[in-house]
Structure 1
Amino acid sequence: MAVSGGYKHIDKDPAKNKSYPYAKSCNLKTGTTNSDYILFSKIFTDAAYEALPNLERPTSFTETAKNEFWRKLFTQTVQTDAASVKTKSEIYISRILKLEVDHYRIFFKSSNMMSRGTIGSSSRVIAASPTDASEWWFDIVQPSLLDNVLFTDIHQSVAGSVVQFLTGINYDGPVHTNGYFSFGGAPTFKGIVSSAGCTTASLNSITDTSTDCIHDYGVYLGTTLNKNFNGTSAQQSAGITNYVKNNTSVNFNGYNPNFADSWLPLPTNSTNQIKAVDGLDENNAALPEGGKGLRLGANDGVQLFAGYGNGTALTQYDPVNRKWIVPEGETEYQFIRPIASKTCNETAINVNGCSYNYSKYLYRIDENKNISVKDVVAGSGWSLLPDKFNGLLYAENGFQSVIGPQTNRSTAAGAAGTDNSSLAQPAVASFMGLTLASDKDIKIRSDLALAETPCRNSVYETQNINPPCKDRKNVLGLYSQSEYIRIMKQAPNNVVIHAALMASEKEFHVYNHNTGGNRGPINLVGGVIEKYYGAVGTANPSNYSRDFSYDKRFQEGLAPPYFPVSPKWELLDARSTLQKFDNIATRQGKAADF
């Protein structure tokens, strides 16, 4: 299979109602050796072949025999002979599309279909041809990790302590763990709660993401794990659900939990992001959409802000349409300013606890992704860079400070539901998609808000604003492969974070979460994906509480640029459409056709 140079735009995918503006069609080359068909041998389990009659199966379930089976299926006419009926048909791969970086669709059609029935000296031949609706396909895709407001691999602290869902916790959206949840008190969930029941030992030992974890379904009540549930996976899930409902005050809000869900592994490296920041794909070819990102280099961190002109931040909020306003006659830009160094008091909670020494360079991006730079110390004008900006920032040494335009917002700590979006000046412009990626720590020291406030999950379908919830395009992602994402002591009370946060090998947490007074809720609209379940405060209370709401735009295909996906490939097929192999046109054939 070779990828062609041209693009094939799919206006709407009937299976997902989604567009693929950078889809590529692939050149097909008929395989002549068994090994050319190893893809099909790899993705279909041995159990799948058992649905076939014995004579139609591979001669054995070895890789060699399965490769031969697929080669013959796609390159030879299949003929069956019975006493009074004979048939023959062919199946071939009609086309292959690369819809996205990690998403391929393979199409099949049948041809030369014939059937001859014989009674005595009489016979009749029926021939059939495929139609536009007789093309079948299946997808090979790496699934998104942005389907939940909370995703944990192991639902414990890094130190191994069981962390409970307690009274006051509010998750407005689906939550998932590959391990076991712990319930206590009366937490509230406004989405499906799911767990895969993978043993901690198996999650810590898996090195091949094409395999599966060891499932042993169960749940913690407090710090006691109960795995004494019998029957099928569905029956065990129902038993766990009843056990939780009968022994806690958990509010599932009518959603039916799934405590026997699938395992979904986290990324194992940041190689794709490291390449994408330099404008390369996974094969070291130029990205199909073009553009490059920015490397932070020796700088300590970065300031992000939506603004206009030569670097004036937006200051006026429209509470009716929930967005920040660009002054009339001005053009909105995304500004990025590296932080060369900082001096911070890391022991006391204080929004003024850091002083920043900014780089002399200020970057400005317009809605067409043109990026310019100016030397603010020398007072030079804007210089247009040769490559468009692809939305990715990479920091080899971590982001020791990530801040928005306002670093000293001060408000009293509020209760859950306290929305400070109108006070948090925007870090990300209304047209911008940004991802900050590193193998090291990422430290949040202020609000990180979007210029067009994303809608909370519970009002996504009903909120009447302009632009509508689903049409807001600004998005932010923070990704640390090997270390932590931390909220530091300079962040304000009721901190606002509109982002997807991923700590693939560690956790998202509040720095020194068990010291200091009540700081109100973390107002997060987006999602948190983490290896372990990080703490944000205590029940005293000290520090923050959680008020997390899912950004439902993620379910509709929006994602921060080059945000990681799961390394485990999944299969989808055409069952959700009207495409069928038996959508064929028949005609009277001739005996000579056989």
Structure 2
Amino acid sequence: MKRAQREEGLALISALMLIVLVLGVVAVTAQLTLGNVKQTSDTVATTRTLALAQGGRNFAQALLRGPVGADLSDAVADLAQRNVLGNASTWVFSKGEASQTPDPQRVAQNTQVLAAQLQGRLPGAGCYGPFIVSSTQTLSVRVSFNGTLPACDGAAEETVPIGVGRFISGARNSTQTYSLPYVMVVAASQGDARRTLTVNGEYQFDVGNGSFARFALLTDIHQNSSTSDEIYFTSDTLFNGPVHTNGNFAFYGEPWFGGAVSSSGVNDRQTQGAWFQRTDNCGRWWQPACVAFRGVAALTPTPAYGNAEPNFTNGVDWGADEIELPTNSNDQRGAAERAGIYVDGNATVTMTVGTAGSEISGRNGQTFQRLVVNGTEYRAFEDEALYMRSGNTWIRARNASGQEITNFNGVVYARGQITRLAGPPRSAASDPATAPPALASFSQITVAASSHIRITSDLKYEDNPCDGDLRRGSGGQVIVPSCETDPLQKKNVLGIYTSGGNILMGLGNTDSSLNVPRDVRIHATLMASEGQVLVENNRTAACNGKVYILGGVISKTYGAFGQFNSGTGQCTSGMQRSFTYDQRMLNGMAPPYFPTTQMTNLLPSRRIIQYSQAEQERR
């Protein structure tokens, strides 16, 4: 009996030991399995953060080419206006030097000034993000041109070694190429896994005399050309690009400016400052005047007068240098005579986009820019070949001297008026969206004349750089459209320039074909250096909606578009205006042979050079 009990006890102990052993094996196996799962999970997270960081590097390169490029352009223009930099007739970053190449030390010093100016313009002083890529992934980018990486996405501010700017190539009186070194840190996170890529490189950029196309609005005299009365910016006024006058601005209500604003005060009142008109607590003998000119001291630090409060989101300079406008179109005429289309007299010009068939050998299926000038049809292709119709055949076009044009330069010039400048008609007269493009996606055209130019239809880009118009929402908030900033991504551009007349939006003419349709769309930069950009018969013609301009307006005086009831704000004649700035112009884009200022400006060509890349993983 006792023996049986002992055997049962031994069996129980053996069973318990077996259970313990099995549980141990299970525990070890489970631990190994969980470890493997965690290791696999960590490996997946690490792989994904690496892929995200590498994608973030490509995103950061796009930032450098686009938004950072626009900030660089602003910084160059600002330093040039303040006489820190030279113009292209000398060495831009070694002003006044007449040597064969600029002094490297002076270039290094001045590019450091540029780097500091640029860094201060970057959002968060160079912190982009963090951006939420997915529910578990984030991405941020830090950029430094001055050796300081900002605090960003949990990372502290830090100082990093960085080189100095240098001259690369170019000559005085020509385009010059310089570089700024940069350090860029891309951080990608997924859960606890974090991967950073540190990239060292240099930003190479070209500078030269700036184009007037850089401005959203520029006037030499900001007054009515007939009465010399001030022309007021009101709460309906919206500009999202650089605005300048050589005279004095006038403000009423709350106009909004999204770009740099400057005035010289050399014209109009011939002193620095601006006009303001308020409507609150004014006009009685014991109150301030409702209309007053405010000098610079009165506008510092707040540029306002009562409830006349313009919103300068990017600063204002009341003492900027005068920017002189050209008085002739010799450059445009010469370009048209050499490798463009030249008319010795008045002209009509129509622009459309087409696709070639077999009528021109070797061109079947290719898109072309169609130009009809005084009844003669031309076709320009992306490789700069220009053909003209001769009877029923097509031949290579010839210049004013009778020589074959091998590379069309995009200039159409009339020594006289352009009585009709048009694109293709709308398929539905009341709907601007039904107007086909006038300019092919590759096309870069300047239409110029020595006298008046009348626009008679929509002139639209095939490849529109913006997804909408600058406007106010129902609550009064400013809605800024998303626009491409890189000139290399959207290439089509149109300039319209007259050196001795006005640019007219046709309206109120007995011949209805000379009138623009309602809510006309003009994709172009318009310049009348001795005249105005205005709506024809704006005091007598019936209201015809708005003129929507995507580009800029440069003129001697600020032209009238229409008349309005001061009490209701409703149109009584003519048209209203809606300006949306083409952001590519900040990055140096300009129509071919468009007039240039004497100020230094950033040119479109730029290169992002990467020298080294270092990866770091952190969990």
Shorter-chain TM-score: which interval? Answer: 0.5 to 0.7
The 2-side partners of 1:311 and 1:435 are apart by: 29
Give distance in 1, aligned partners of 2:537 and 2:210: 34
Shift of 1:364: 0.7
Which amino acid in the other structure matches residue 226 of structure 1?
F
Partner residue in 2 for 1:165: 233
How far apart in 2 are the matches of 1:453 and 1:534?
Answer: 26
Question: Which residue number corresponds to residue 405 of structure 1?
Answer: 424
Residue of structure 1 aligned with 2:396, choices 373, 384, 399: 384
Residue 258 of structure 2: aligned partner: 191
C-alpha spacing 1:225/1:194, structure 2 compared with 1 (3 Å)? farther
Asked whether the 8 Å contact 2:214–2:588 carries over to 1, the reply is no
1:310-331 deviation per Cα after TM superposition (whole angstroms, max 9, x unaligned)? 799xxxxxxxxxxxxxxxx943
Quick check: which one's helix share is greater? 2
SS at match of 1:522: strand
* Secondary structure, counterpart of 1:449 in structure 2: coil
Aligned to 1:332: 367
Cα distance change on mapping 1:44 and 1:95 into 2, 3 Å:
closer
Q: Which residue of 1 aligns with 2:351?
A: 304
Asked if 1 retains the 8 angstrom alpha-carbon contact of 2:276 and 2:308, the reply is no
The yes-or-no answer on 1:506 pairing with 2:531 is yes
User: Which of 561, 575, 596 matches 1:544?
Assistant: 575
Change in CA separation of 1:265 and 1:384 when aligned onto 2, cut-off 3 Å: same
Match of 2:522 in 1: 497
Shift of 1:522: 0.8
Provide the TM-score with structure 1 as the length reference: 0.58
Equivalent runs, 1:269-284 vs 2, <5 Å: 269-279=328-338
Question: 1:61-106 CA deviation, whole Å, 9 max, x = no partner?
Answer: xxxxx99xx89x98xxxxxxxxxxxxxxxxxx9875049x853459
- Give the corresponding residue for 1:374: 389
Residue 272 of structure 1 and its aligned partner are, at CA, apart by: 1.6
Match of 1:247 in 2: 307
Change (3 A) 1:461 1:197: same
Contact 1:494-1:521 within 8 A present in 2 as well? yes
Equivalent AA in structure 2 for residue 248 of structure 1: A
Residue 293 of structure 1: CA displacement? 0.6
CA distance in 2, matches of 1:257, 1:168: 19
State the match for 1:97 in structure 2: 170
The residue that corresponds to 1:181 in the other structure is 249
What is the distance in 1 between the residues matched to 2:236 and 2:353?
34
1:109-508 → structure 2 map (5 Å cutoff): 141-159=208-226, 160-187=228-255, 189-192=256-259, 194-200=261-267, 216-221=272-277, 224-230=291-297, 237-239=299-301, 241-243=303-305, 246-248=306-308, 250=310, 252=311, 254-279=313-338, 292-309=339-356, 330-339=365-374, 359=375, 361-375=376-390, 378=391, 380-385=392-397, 386-387=404-405, 388-406=407-425, 410-411=429-430, 422-455=433-466, 456=468, 462=482, 471-489=489-507, 490-508=515-533
- Write the letter of the residue equivalent to 1:97: G
Instruction: Describe the superposition over 1:395-443 as per-residue Cα deviations: whole angstroms up to 9, x where unpaired.
Output: 00121110112178621xxxxxxxx652222111111000011221111
Distance 1:228 1:259, change over 3 A: closer
Query: 8 Å contact 2:548–2:577 — kept in the other structure?
Result: yes
Change (3 A) 1:527 1:409: farther
Which residue pairs with 1:535 in the alignment?
A: 560
Give, in whole Å, the separation in 1 of the partners of 2:442 and 2:206: 30
Task: Tell me the TM-score normalized by structure 2.
Answer: 0.56
Q: C-alpha separation between the residues in 2 aligned to 1:274 and 1:311? A: 33
For residues 266-295 of structure 1, the C-alpha deviation after alignment (integer angstroms, 9 at most, x for no partner) is: 22322221222233xxxxxxxxxxxx1110
Partner Cα distance (1:526, 1:436) in 2: 15
Instruction: Determine if contact 1:398/1:442 at 8 Å carries over to the other structure.
Output: yes
Moved more, 146-155 or 545-554: 146-155
List per-residue Cα deviations over 1:497-553 (Å, max 9, x = no partner).
000001111110001111222211111111111111000011141221111100001
Task: Give the conservation status (yes or no) of the 8 Å contact 2:259–2:313.
Answer: no
CA–CA separation in structure 1 for the residues paired with 2:358 and 2:341 = 19
Cα RMSD for the two superposed structures? 4.5
**How far apart are the structure 1 equivalents of 2:436 and 2:205?**
45
Give 1:515's match in structure 2, choosing from 540, 546, 562: 540
Per-residue deviation at 1:483?
Answer: 1.1
Paired with 1:249 and 1:311, the residues of 2 have a C-alpha distance of 61
Q: Is the contact between residue 486 and residue 587 of structure 2 (CA under 8 Å) also seen in structure 1?
A: no
What is the deviation of 1:264?
A: 2.0
User: Partner amino acid for 2:495?
Assistant: G
- Alpha-carbon shift at residue 446 of structure 1 (Å): 0.9
State the alpha-carbon separation in 1 of the partners of residues 382 and 301 from structure 2.
Answer: 52
Q: Gaps spanning 5+ residues in structure 1: where?
A: 1-11, 19-37, 46-65, 75-92, 108-132, 203-213, 231-235, 280-291, 313-328, 340-358, 412-419, 579-594
Question: What amino acid is aligned across from residue 262 of structure 1 in structure 2?
Answer: D
Alpha-carbon distance, 1:453 to partner: 1.9
Alpha carbons 1:150, 1:175 under 8 Å: kept: yes
| Distance across 2 between alignment mates of 1:370 and 1:434 | 14
Go from structure 1 to structure 2 and tell me whether the alpha carbon gap of 1:184 and 1:338 turns closer, same or farther (over 3 Å shift): same
Partner of 1:454, secondary structure, is coil
The C-alpha deviation readout for 1:160-213, integer Å capped at 9, x for no partner, is 2211113433334342222211112343x24135232323269xxxxxxxxxxx
AA aligned opposite 1:216: Q
Residue pair 1:408, 1:492 contacting (<8 A) in 2 also: no
Deviations 1:247-271 (A, max 9, x none): 3254x27444333333322223222
Change (3 A) 1:444 1:409: farther
For residue 502 of structure 1, what is the amino acid of its counterpart?
M
Q: Distance in 2 between matches of 1:445 and 1:166?
A: 28
In structure 2, the residue matched to 1:22 is: none
Distance 1:521 1:435 in 2: 24
Question: Residues 396 and 330 of structure 1: is their aligned pair in 2 closer, same or farther, counting only changes over 3 Å?
Answer: same
Matches of 2:207 and 2:459 in 1, distance apart? 35
Q: Structure 1 pair 257/397, CA: closer, same or farther in 2 (3 Å)? A: same
Q: How many residues align?
A: 401
How far apart in 1 are the matches of 2:292 and 2:369?
Answer: 49
Contact kept? 1:180, 1:218, Cα under 8 Å: yes
CA contact (8 A) 2:447 2:497 kept: yes
CA separation of 1:457 and 1:515: change in aligned 2, threshold 3 A: closer
Give the match's secondary structure for 2:340.
Answer: strand
What's the CA shift for 1:157?
Answer: 1.8
